């Protein structure tokens, strides 16, 4: 796929890969809870592996395989518990599993600074696996699988990204956070906000599952969380001096590049829906 798209410009690659990826994700979400599970379980694993790979480029030595297994277990448990198939008491299985990180490093005699590896192993779970696992809480928030909540959140996120990109390219003048991301502008952020809130407004009329203020609240959370999520990932990439987190998605970089906004938005959306 990548070799076929290489003959096109970066923008064309971006559009083709973006539309293809969106079609796969939307189809999976809408088809059934199991197809949703498969696609996001896979994305969670790939994204966490990508994170650990990038950390390794900076000389850190996290437990790449074990950390990803812990993240996968968290996603699995959250899906089966939130869908009502097993009891919530099984969440406690995670604590002894994750605690084994300390024991593994205890027996790795060649580690000069083991607690750096421990810290980055936990960071991969915190930064990637927990937000993806919280999507299961959102998906089953009404008590049964409701694809409109996940699909709506993604549509708002993509609308924000699209509006910010095109508005920024056309009208961008004032830098939003030049130290971290020189290309982002205030004008682009406003464009993203307007398109995202328009999408939230449209979702209220087409889904019928939340009040208007709920959708607008989710929209605002995603605009703010998506922007900061992108900045946080940009800061992370600059710290290890790379441009993209990977090359798996032509024109887009890696999975971490594509889901950075969701990683920071998901905890806030979950809290918002649970509290309000």
Please determine, for residue 4, whether its predicted confidence score (pLDDT) is greater than 60: no
Report pLDDT for 57: 79
pLDDT band at 24 (very low <50, low <70, confident <90, very high): very high
Q: Which residues contact 45 (CB under 8 A, 6 or more apart)?
A: 68, 71, 72
Predicted pLDDT of residue 253: 66
* CA distance linking residue 201 with residue 213, whole number of Å: 9
Q: How confident is the model at residue 234 (pLDDT cuts 50, 70, 90)?
A: confident
Q: What is the mean pLDDT of the chain?
A: 89
- At residue 208, the pLDDT reads 86
pLDDT at residue 47 in the model? 95
For position 9, what pLDDT does the model report?
A: 58
According to the model, what pLDDT value does residue 123 have?
Answer: 95
The whole-number average pLDDT for the span 16-26 is 85
pLDDT in tens, 81-127: 999 999 999 999 999 999 999 999 988 877 778 899 999 999 999 99
154-207 pLDDT tens trace: 999 999 999 998 999 888 888 888 888 888 889 999 999 999 999 999 999 999
pLDDT above 70 for 10: no
How many beta carbons lie within 10 A of that of residue 62, not counting itself? Answer: 24
pLDDT for residue 46? 95
Banded model confidence at residue 216, pLDDT cuts 50, 70, 90? very high
pLDDT tier, 142 (very low <50, low <70, confident <90, very high otherwise)? confident
Q: What is the pLDDT of residues 246-266, one digit of tens each?
A: 566 554 568 888 899 999 999
pLDDT tens-digit map of 39-78: 999 999 999 999 999 888 777 789 999 999 999 999 999 9
Of 2 and 58, the one with more pLDDT: 58
């Amino acid at each position: 796929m990548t070799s076929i798209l290489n003959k096109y410009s970066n923008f064309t690659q971006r559009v083709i890969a973006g539309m293809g990826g969106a079609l796969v994700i939307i189809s999976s979400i809408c088809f059934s809870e199991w197809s949703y599970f498969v696609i996001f379980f896979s994305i969670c694993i790939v994204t966490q592996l990508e994170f650990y790979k990038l950390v390794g480029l900076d000389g850190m030595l996290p437990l790449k395989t074990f950390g990803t297994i812990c993240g996968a277990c968290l996603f699995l448990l959250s899906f089966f518990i939130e869908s009502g198939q097993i009891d919530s008491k099984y969440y406690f299985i995670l604590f002894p599993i994750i605690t084994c990180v300390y024991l593994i490093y205890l027996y790795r005699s060649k580690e000069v600074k083991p607690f750096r590896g421990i810290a980055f192993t936990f960071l991969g779970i915190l930064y990637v696996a927990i937000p993806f696992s919280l999507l299961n809480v959102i998906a089953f928030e009404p008590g049964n699988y409701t694809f409109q909540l996940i699909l709506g959140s993604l549509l708002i996120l993509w609308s924000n990204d699209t509006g910010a990109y095109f508005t920024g390219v056309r009208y961008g003048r004032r830098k939003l956070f030049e130290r971290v991301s020189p290309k982002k502008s205030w004008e682009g952020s406003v464009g993203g906000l307007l398109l995202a809130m328009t999408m939230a407004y449209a979702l209220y009329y087409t889904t019928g599952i939340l009040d208007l203020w709920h959708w607008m609240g989710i929209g605002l959370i995603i605009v703010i969380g998506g922007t900061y999520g992108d900045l946080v990932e940009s800061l992370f990439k600059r710290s290890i001096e790379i441009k993209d987190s990977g090359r798996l998605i032509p024109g887009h970089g890696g999975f971490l590049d594509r889901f950075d906004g969701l990683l920071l938005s998901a905890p806030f959306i979950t809290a918002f829906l649970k509290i309000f």
